[in-house]
Amino acid sequence: MINLETPRKLAPLAKQASQVASEVFRPISRKYDRAEHEYPKELDMFAALMDGKDAGAGNAGAGAAGVRRKDKADEESNRNGSNMATVLGVIELCYGDVGLTLTLPRQGLGNSAIASVANDEQLQRFAGKWAAMAITEPEAGSDSASIRTTAVLDGDEYVLNGEKIYVTSGSRAELIVVWASLDPSKGRAAIKSFVVPRDTPGMILERLEHKLGIRASDTANFRLEDCRIPKENLLGSPEIDTEKSFAGAMQTFDNTRPLVAGMAVGLARACIDETRKRLDEAGVTVDYTRPANVQHAAAARLLALEADYEAALLLTLQAAWMADNSKPNSLQASMAKAKAGRSCVDIALGCVELCGSVGYGEDSLLEKWARDAKILDIFEGTQQIQLLVVARQLLGKSSAELR
C-alpha cells in the first residue's frame, strides 16, 4: 500500500533539491527570465555535482530517470525507485524555478526515454549525454500519431527527413530523441524513436522560440534533411508490430507525465508559500485549525487553493509510486497531469489576485510563476488530451472510438 510520507531513503535527495532551489535557482530566476536564450552557466557546476550523486545513487537523480518495466517489483513489497525519486526531486527544484529545472544538463525528457527503453549497449553509448525529445511537428501536436517525419533504412543507416518544432533544450542538448515513421502507410504502428546526435549533418537548427514563460529553457525548431544515423540508434524494436508498437512509444508518457505533474506541484507550492507570507505581512494569517468559512476571505481562498494543491500532489505521488511498483499507470499519470496542470495555473493566477499589485509587479516572482505555469498544462499532452486519455481508460474505449 502507498505510504504518503516521504520515504526515508529519498529524504536527503529531496532536501538537497530543496537547497538547490533556494540557494541556486531562486537568486538567478529573474536574471534568466529577462535574458531569454542565454545559457544559465551557473547550472554547469550543479549538474556536475548531480552526476556524481546519480552515480552513487543508482540513477535516483532529481531529473531524468527512466522506468525499466522489466525491473519487476516484488509482488509483496513496496518499492520507491527512480520515479518517486525523480518526482520528489523535481517538485523541490520547481519550487525554485521551472525553466531552470528544464534546462538542467543531462536531465531532459530524451534522457527519460533513453533510460526507459534503450538496450544495454545503447545505455552505455549514450551515458552522460544530455538528450532532448522531439515529437511535435507543425501538423502533429496533440495527435502524435500523425507525425510525418520519416526514417528510411539505407544500408547500415537510417535516413531521416522532416520537421520538428518546440523541442525543449533542443539547442543545448547533445542528443535529440526524434520520433519518426518507418512507413507512413502502416500508421501509428510504424512510429519509432531514434537517437540523433545534434551535430549530425542534416539536423538543422532553424530557430529558437520566444515564449510567455519558462524563458530560461530554450525551445528549438529543427529541419531534418537527409539526416543519417547508425541503425543502432533506433530505440526499441525495428519490427512494425500493429498490436503493440505505438503503445510502446506512448508508454514513455506514463513515466514523463507524473514528472511534469511534479513540476506543476512544485510551482503551485511556491505560489502558495509566497502568498501566505505576503498575506501574513498584511495582517491576514491563515489558521489551519479553524474552518475556512470563519476566516478572512483571503485566507479562505488560499485554503481552497491549497486543497487543490494537495489533491494534485497526492495524484502525482500515486502515479509515480505505481510506476515504481510495475503497476500500469496510464490512467493515474494522465489524472495527475490533468489535475496538477490545471491547478498550478489556477493557483498561480489566484495568488497573483490575492496579492494584488504586489503579485503583478516584478518585485515578487509571482507574476513570473503565473507565466511559467501555463506550459505545464500544455506540454507532455494538453489538459484536454489528458481528460481524453482518462475518459478512454474509464469507458474502455480505444483512441479510434473516442477522439
- C-alpha grid cell for residue 170? 533542443
Q: Which of 141, 162, 266, 359 touches ligand FAD by CB under 6 A?
A: 141
Phi, psi (deg, nearest 5) at residue 220: -115, 150
Taking the complex as a whole, the smallest distance from the CB of residue 103 to ligand FAD amounts, in Å, to 12
Stretch that binds ligand FAD, among 48-56, 73-81, 269-277, 374-382 (CB under 6 A): 374-382
Strand partners, 148: none
Interface with ligand FAD, residue 148, by CB under 6 A: no
**DSSP class of residue 72?**
P
Q: Which of 84, 167, 178, 302 touches ligand FAD by CB under 6 A?
A: 167
Query: What are the strands, taking DSSP E only, across 21-139?
Result: 131-134
Element counts in the chain: helices (H) and strands (E)? 13, 8
The count of chain residues that interact with ligand FAD, using the rule CB under 6 A, is: 21
Could you confirm whether 380 is annotated as catalytic? yes
Interface with ligand FAD, residue 63, by CB under 6 A: no
* Burial (Cβ within 10 Å: 0-12, 13-18, ≥19) of residue 344: buried
Spatial neighbors of 140 by CB under 8 A, at least 6 apart, are 146, 147, 148
* Burial (Cβ within 10 Å: 0-12, 13-18, ≥19) of residue 43: buried
Residue number with the smallest Cβ distance to ligand FAD: 141
Strand partners, 362: none
Taking the complex as a whole, the smallest distance from the CB of residue 346 to ligand FAD amounts, in Å, to 16
Q: Which of 55, 183, 384, 397 touches ligand FAD by CB under 6 A?
A: 384
Q: Which of 211, 228, 231, 296 touches ligand FAD by CB under 6 A?
A: 211
Distance of CA 322 to the CA centre of its chain: 17
Stretch that binds ligand FAD, among 165-173, 197-205, 324-332, 360-368 (CB under 6 A): 165-173
How many angstroms separate the Cα of 117 from the Cα of each of 135, 223, 386? 16, 25, 23
Phi, psi (deg, nearest 5) at residue 397: -105, 150
Q: Which is nearer to ligand FAD, 212 or 247 (CB)?
A: 212
Interface with ligand FAD, residue 385, by CB under 6 A: yes
Taking the complex as a whole, the smallest distance from the CB of residue 220 to ligand FAD amounts, in Å, to 9
Interface with ligand FAD, residue 123, by CB under 6 A: no
Interface with ligand FAD, residue 256, by CB under 6 A: no
Interface with ligand FAD, residue 210, by CB under 6 A: no
Interface with ligand FAD, residue 134, by CB under 6 A: yes
Stretch that binds ligand FAD, among 55-63, 151-159, 226-234, 372-380 (CB under 6 A): 372-380
Stretch that binds ligand FAD, among 10-18, 162-170, 313-321, 343-351 (CB under 6 A): 162-170
Interface with ligand FAD, residue 173, by CB under 6 A: no
Q: Which of 18, 103, 111, 219 touches ligand FAD by CB under 6 A?
A: 219
| SS3 assignment, position 323 | helix
Region at 393 (left for phi over 0; alpha for psi -120 to 50; beta for the rest): alpha
Catalytic residue among 92, 274, 306, 380: 380
A 10 A CB-CB count for 189 gives 21
Q: Which of 59, 161, 382, 399 touches ligand FAD by CB under 6 A?
A: 382
Interface with ligand FAD, residue 135, by CB under 6 A: yes
- How far apart (Å, rounded) are the C-alpha atoms in residues 318 and 323? 9
Sign of CA dihedral 294, 297, 302, 304: positive
- How far apart (Å, rounded) are the C-alpha atoms in residues 49 and 70? 29
Residues that bind ligand FAD (CB under 6 A): 109, 132-136, 141-142, 166-168, 211, 219, 375, 378-379, 382, 384-385, 388, 403
> Which residue numbers are catalytic?
380
